[in-house]
Structure 1
Amino acid sequence: MKKVFIKGPITPQFISDAIEKHQTKHSIGAHNIFLGQVRADEIKNKTVAAIDFTCYEGMANPILEEIREKAFEKFNLTCMHIYHSLGTIKAGEICFFVFVSAKHSKDVYDATEFLVNTVKKKVPIFGKEIFEDESHQWKVNQ
């Protein structure tokens, strides 16, 4: 399985490079991308400045591999990539990148929704919201 976890934010250049690599794959007719960005939510009169993501990769990687296998079984995909940030990611930066390719658009739309929701529910990735005043709390996925 390809490396999923990236230290720091997922940069526009990283995303652009991923797209560019697929131009040589002529059996692909559709791509879909999901980008998860850290929001500056206001919680109890405090504004989120960043999220510090942690993960136990030894537990997460087998779950991600299972999710990947299910996606290829369930949808007619050509390629699929999942990337998630670790470390402190500031509001406005990208922390989650799902990139799906297939012959037809319906497959990429359905697969992207499945992947994003399943990763959020099943993969042990934890986020600590860091507020502008430097206080913090554990994030609850929604």
Structure 2
Amino acid sequence: MLVEKKKHRVFVNGPVSPQFIADSIAKHSSKTTIGAHDIFLGQVRADEINGKTIKAIDYSAYEDMAEEKFHEIRESAFSKFDLTCMHIYHSMGKVKAGEICLFVFTSSKHRAIAFDACRWIVEEIKANVPIFGKEIFEDETYIWKENKDTPALKGEKTNEQTNNKN
């Protein structure tokens, strides 16, 4: 029987702090059945677009809908992979270039599962969660971010899909 995991709040105001990440890792040291962790940290880039440099991204979302999508991804990941633990946190509001906006943390008995699950979760978030990023330039003008570099959005196969031909 599949036991549904408790819903937890995914969104944090502003950037995900290095201390928050370190504290999350430290909390798992007492869980001795875990043999591997994998972490994905999404960082805001200072991309140059049309001669202007991005200084920050202001994230917004349909929060209830996004939280529900995060929960669906979480439940699917626990069904698909033999995970011991998983955490997802995403920023809301302004995050400066160089700061962390997405923190995905997977734990399992074995590294391959933690790696594969973390990659799958990140791709699912990028493809399916209604989060919007207003890319703010140094001159305070902005454009809305497009997730064009995501294989799942472009219909490309990820390494997992390429390697698993079943």
The one-letter code matched in structure 2 to 1:90 is K
Report the equivalent of 1:113: 119
Taking only aligned residues, the RMSD between alpha carbons, in angstroms, comes to: 0.5
Q: CA deviation at 1:64?
A: 1.1
Deviations 1:42-73 (A, max 9, x none): 00000000000001111111111111111001
Cα distance in 2, alignment partners of residues 94 and 78 from structure 1: 24
CA distance in structure 1 between the aligned counterparts of 2:8 and 2:66, rounded to whole angstroms: 13
C-alpha separation between the residues in 2 aligned to 1:65 and 1:91?
28
- Among 109, 118, 125, the alignment partner of 2:131 is 125
Q: Which residue of 2 aligns with 1:44?
A: 50
Matched to 1:25, the amino acid is K
Which of structures 1 and 2 has the bigger CA Rg? 2
1:57 aligns with 2:74: no
Give me the TM-score of the superposition, normalised by structure 1: 0.99
Q: How many residues align?
A: 142
| 1:28 matched to 2:34 | yes
TM-score (norm 2): 0.85
1:6 corresponds to: 12
Alignment of 1:70-81 (within 5 A): 70-81=76-87
| Deviating 4+ runs (over 6 angstroms) | none
| Distance in 1 separating the partners of 2:137 and 2:38 | 32
Gaps of 5+ in 2: 1-6, 150-166
The separation in 1 between residues aligned to 2:68 and 2:107, in whole angstroms, is: 22
Cα distance in 1 between the residues matched to 2:62 and 2:96: 21
Q: Does 1 or 2 have the higher relative contact order (CA < 8 Å, sep 6+)?
A: 1
In terms of fraction of residues, the more strand-rich structure is 1
Which runs of no fewer than 5 residues in structure 1 stay unpaired?
Answer: none
